[in-house]
Chain A
Amino acid sequence: MEKKTLFDKIWEKHLVHEEEGKPTLLYIDLHLIHEVTSPQAFEGLRESKRMVRKPNLTFATMDHNVPTINRHNIDDPISAQQIDTLVKNCEQFGIKLFDLNSPYQGIVHVIGPEQGLTKPGMTIVCGDSHTSTHGAFGSLAFGIGTSEVEHVLATQCLWQVKPKTFEVKVDGMRPKGVTAKDIILSIIGNIGTAGATGHVIEYRGDAISSLSMEQRMTICNMSIEGGARAGMISPDNTTFEYLRNKPNMENIDNEIEEWKKLKSDDEAVFDRSLRLDASKMSPQVSWGTSPGMVSGIDNKVPNPKNIEDPVKRKSIEDALKYMGIKADMSISDIKLDTVFIGSCTNSRIEDLVAASKIFKGKKVASNINAIVVPGSQLVKYQAEKLGLDKIFKDAGCEWRESGCSMCLAMNPDKLSPGERCASTSNRNFEGRQGKGGRTHLVSPIMAAAAAINGRFIDVREYDIDWEDY
């Protein structure tokens, strides 16, 4: 029998129509929408007098534009209009919406798994590139454009050219202080931001299977930063146990029997493979304007003079100029203004628990503004129940309501020109966190340590209980 990868198995199960030389029509199990990339899709449906084919397979929330303080008073009239438009569209087309009054509102990629909407083996799409997050459950999940959002609403299907497969196997024992965020930043640093273009990555190996579900989400979340169409991890007992306590799991024991089949066959062939050793990794910090521009905390900023390829050299020169840092300087000499802990990459309860261990009994440096933004209202509730909000506030951090916040500066949380931020988000592009803002991507514990010290510091120097993170 033909050996198949996890990706092949999910792809084949969702084939609606296939023709030689054409893209494939795939069935979509779960469609998530938010306020920014959906209004034109609904407008398109109205213009062409089309209906939503399966309203019960689409779920909506509002996250990108939502203020994290005083969230019911949106000052920006255009943001408010986008949010109103989503409410009206969901009403008109019969779509379930987790709005600002819902105790379950949050970042779309945080609430999907939280609400038991995300399940192994599904095809999941959303008009947001970080949809790859849901691949942590062994689903095929990827971001789409607004025309495709409209297409899924109208047909519950999507035309897709079959991507190639890419095995990224990470073995070895993760040293203390090296988190899932450091693993994925190392992977992107290794393959480059276009390294996985046209491919779906399957993350495998001991260093992956030993991760918790939330850590796996951090890994899959940033697949897009390596150019991948999607990233996925085969479901196992960790997955099943995590899902057991979620809503919509009435039939879970029968489902687990099916989910157990969702793994790549032993001799399945991937189009590409990469092997990495987690035991050799260190906490990562991005120094440039692209997520592949990363170094270990114990390293230096690279010198463009040592780069032969003229396009790469220019990219590094441009990045250093924008970031306002010098070649060959130590990463730990980079001083900061702001620390942001949040985003669909790192705003779940385990992230906040880990950050709180660093903050406990300490104070944020006087030059630093630190904000902690839970990924959802449910995460906020869990954190407050554990008293984490108090630890953050005692340390001098701001504790906010849930949303995308400073990850992308579409709401009031943004950097000023020249402001330098240690951020647990996913993109360090020019202006991503605000025009002229300078972003350094790090893990939540590296961000917390940087907040206390006012500059980057090796979090491995902290003597905390590293268990489970």
Chain B
Amino acid sequence: MEQFINFSSKVMPLDSANVDTDQIIPKQFLKRIERTGFGEFLFFDWRFNDDGSPNKNFVLNKDEYKGSKILLAQDNFGCGSSREHAPWALRDYGFKVIISSSFADIFYNNSFKNGILPIVVEPDLLSNFFKFSVNDSSYELYIDLTNQKMKDLDNEYSFELDPFRKKCLLEGLDDIALTMIHSDKIDTFEKEYFKNT
């Protein structure tokens, strides 16, 4: 996994609550057997009209937000299906951070495995971020994972994060390799666990 490097970016406001993984990546694109190439299908049903032309009203298609690496969404982002294709599509498209007032558990877990940082903020702050980014598409946040801070020109906002997940993101650690360090523990566990079988 790539290491997470602190960065500044514009913020794309997606003003919907309960965005489910079926919306993030519709099922017709789940049939690939690779981990890459999902970005062009991100939010497909919202992003494209029935004739295949881009839906001009959808925020991903607005020129002023192009290139944002931070996605802002209302409560309960990533609910529904466990498909890891959702963070694969977000990552492929270029998002590195998603900010919401809450995330569904499986999506939250899947994000970290793919170098995406989901940041949980209080509803009031989320509502402010929406105000700032909707009113001014050039509004930028600096994401400082090392110090767990988001910064704009006026303010600094800290966020909570499990220290272990933070370390994995910053160092780009592979989960399986980490587990293999404990393989003697797994051996011991299995020996005891299966002794009667």
Please indicate whether A and B come from the same complex rather than being unrelated chains: yes
User: Is B162 positioned at the interface, with any CB of A under 8 Å from its CB?
Assistant: yes
B23 touches which of A146, A194, A224, A430 (Cβ 8 Å): A430
User: Is B153 positioned at the interface, with any CB of A under 8 Å from its CB?
Assistant: no
User: Is B59 positioned at the interface, with any CB of A under 8 Å from its CB?
Assistant: no
Q: What residues of B have a CB within 8 angstroms of the CB of A144 in the complex?
A: 82, 106, 109
User: Is A143 positioned at the interface, with any CB of B under 8 Å from its CB?
Assistant: yes
* Bound-state Cα–Cα, A259 to B36, Å: 44
B82 touches which of A128, A194, A318 (Cβ 8 Å): A128
Write the nearest CB–CB distance from A197 to chain B, whole angstroms. Answer: 6
Q: What residues of A have a CB within 8 angstroms of the CB of B15 in the complex?
A: 314
* Bound-state Cα–Cα, A314 to B76, Å: 15
A40 touches which of B35, B109, B162, B183 (Cβ 8 Å): B35
Q: What residues of B have a CB within 8 angstroms of the CB of A193 in the complex?
A: 18, 76, 79
Q: What residues of B have a CB within 8 angstroms of the CB of A48 in the complex?
A: 176
Q: Which of B158-195 contact A (CB under 8 A)?
A: 162-164, 175-176, 179-180, 182-183, 185-186, 189-190, 193
User: Is B45 positioned at the interface, with any CB of A under 8 Å from its CB?
Assistant: yes
Q: What residues of A have a CB within 8 angstroms of the CB of B186 in the complex?
A: 16, 25, 27, 53, 155-157
In this complex, the member of A48, A146, A150, A318 whose beta carbon has the largest number of chain B beta carbons within 10 angstroms is A146
Given A25-B179, A311-B17, A430 and B45 contact (CB-CB distance below 8 Å): yes
User: Are A145 and B179 within 8 A (Cβ)?
Assistant: no
Q: Which of A112-171 contact B (CB under 8 A)?
A: 127-129, 142-148, 150-151, 154-157, 159, 161, 163
B32 touches which of A50, A78, A311, A410 (Cβ 8 Å): A78
User: Are A431 and B23 within 8 A (Cβ)?
Assistant: yes
User: Are B16 and A27 within 8 A (Cβ)?
Assistant: no
* Bound-state Cα–Cα, A21 to B185, Å: 19
| Nearest opposing residue in chain B for A155, CB measure | B179
Given A37-B84, A144-B106, A159 and B113 contact (CB-CB distance below 8 Å): no
Q: What residues of B have a CB within 8 angstroms of the CB of A157 in the complex?
A: 179, 186
* Bound-state Cα–Cα, A427 to B104, Å: 15
| Nearest opposing residue in chain A for B179, CB measure | A155
* Bound-state Cα–Cα, A161 to B185, Å: 19
User: Are A429 and B80 within 8 A (Cβ)?
Assistant: yes
Q: What residues of A have a CB within 8 angstroms of the CB of B34 in the complex?
A: 40, 43
* Bound-state Cα–Cα, A134 to B104, Å: 20
User: Are A147 and B114 within 8 A (Cβ)?
Assistant: yes
User: Are B185 and A25 within 8 A (Cβ)?
Assistant: yes
Q: Which of under 10, 10 to 19, 20 to 34, or 35 or more describes the interface residues of A? A: 35 or more
Q: What residues of A have a CB within 8 angstroms of the CB of B30 in the complex?
A: 36, 64, 410
Q: What residues of A have a CB within 8 angstroms of the CB of B74 in the complex?
A: 311
Q: What residues of B have a CB within 8 angstroms of the CB of A275 in the complex?
A: none
User: Is B26 positioned at the interface, with any CB of A under 8 Å from its CB?
Assistant: yes
User: Is B81 positioned at the interface, with any CB of A under 8 Å from its CB?
Assistant: yes
Given A40-B35, A144-B106, A227 and B76 contact (CB-CB distance below 8 Å): yes
Of A1-9, A79-87, A91-99, A236-244, the one contacting chain B is A79-87
User: Is A201 positioned at the interface, with any CB of B under 8 Å from its CB?
Assistant: no
Given A23-B162, A65-B31, A85-B33, A159 and B175 contact (CB-CB distance below 8 Å): yes
Q: What residues of A have a CB within 8 angstroms of the CB of B102 in the complex?
A: 194, 197
User: Are A290 and B176 within 8 A (Cβ)?
Assistant: no
User: Are A427 and B82 within 8 A (Cβ)?
Assistant: no
| Nearest opposing residue in chain A for B74, CB measure | A311
User: Is B140 positioned at the interface, with any CB of A under 8 Å from its CB?
Assistant: no
Q: What residues of B have a CB within 8 angstroms of the CB of A197 in the complex?
A: 76, 102-105
User: Are B162 and A161 within 8 A (Cβ)?
Assistant: yes
User: Is B27 positioned at the interface, with any CB of A under 8 Å from its CB?
Assistant: yes
Given A129-B82, A431-B45, A194 and B22 contact (CB-CB distance below 8 Å): no
Q: What residues of B have a CB within 8 angstroms of the CB of A43 in the complex?
A: 33-35
User: Is B110 positioned at the interface, with any CB of A under 8 Å from its CB?
Assistant: yes
Write the nearest CB–CB distance from A316 to chain B, whole angstroms. Answer: 10
Q: What residues of A have a CB within 8 angstroms of the CB of B185 in the complex?
A: 16-17, 25
Q: What residues of B have a CB within 8 angstroms of the CB of A75 in the complex?
A: none
* Bound-state Cα–Cα, A217 to B131, Å: 43
User: Is A205 positioned at the interface, with any CB of B under 8 Å from its CB?
Assistant: no
| Nearest opposing residue in chain B for A408, CB measure | B27
A51-72: CB near B (< 8 Å → 1, else 0) gives 0010000000000110000000
| Nearest opposing residue in chain A for B77, CB measure | A194
User: Are B26 and A148 within 8 A (Cβ)?
Assistant: no
Write the nearest CB–CB distance from B53 to chain A, whole angstroms. Answer: 15
* Bound-state Cα–Cα, A39 to B88, Å: 14
Q: What residues of B have a CB within 8 angstroms of the CB of A129 in the complex?
A: 80-82, 106
User: Is A281 positioned at the interface, with any CB of B under 8 Å from its CB?
Assistant: no
* Bound-state Cα–Cα, A329 to B31, Å: 39
* Bound-state Cα–Cα, A314 to B19, Å: 13
* Bound-state Cα–Cα, A129 to B17, Å: 20
B1-40: CB near A (< 8 Å → 1, else 0) gives 0000000000000011110101100111011111100000
Write the nearest CB–CB distance from B68 to chain A, whole angstroms. Answer: 21
A-B pairs, top 10 by smallest CB distance, nearest first, are: A145-B110, A145-B84, A39-B33, A147-B113, A194-B76, A143-B82, A78-B31, A146-B84, A129-B82, A22-B164
A-B contact pairs, 19 of them (CB 8 A): A16-B185, A21-B163, A22-B164, A40-B33, A76-B31, A78-B31, A81-B33, A129-B80, A144-B106, A144-B109, A145-B83, A145-B109, A151-B176, A194-B79, A311-B17, A314-B15, A410-B30, A429-B80, A431-B22
Question: Could you list 16 further interchain pairs (A-B, Cβ under 8 angstroms) beyond the known A146-B35, A155-B179, A227-B104?
Answer: A16-B185, A25-B179, A27-B189, A36-B83, A64-B30, A76-B31, A144-B106, A155-B180, A155-B183, A157-B186, A193-B18, A194-B76, A194-B102, A197-B105, A409-B28, A410-B30
Residues of B within 8 A of A (CB): 15-18, 20, 22-23, 26-28, 30-35, 45, 50, 74-76, 79-84, 87, 102-106, 109-110, 113-114, 162-164, 175-176, 179-180, 182-183, 185-186, 189-190, 193
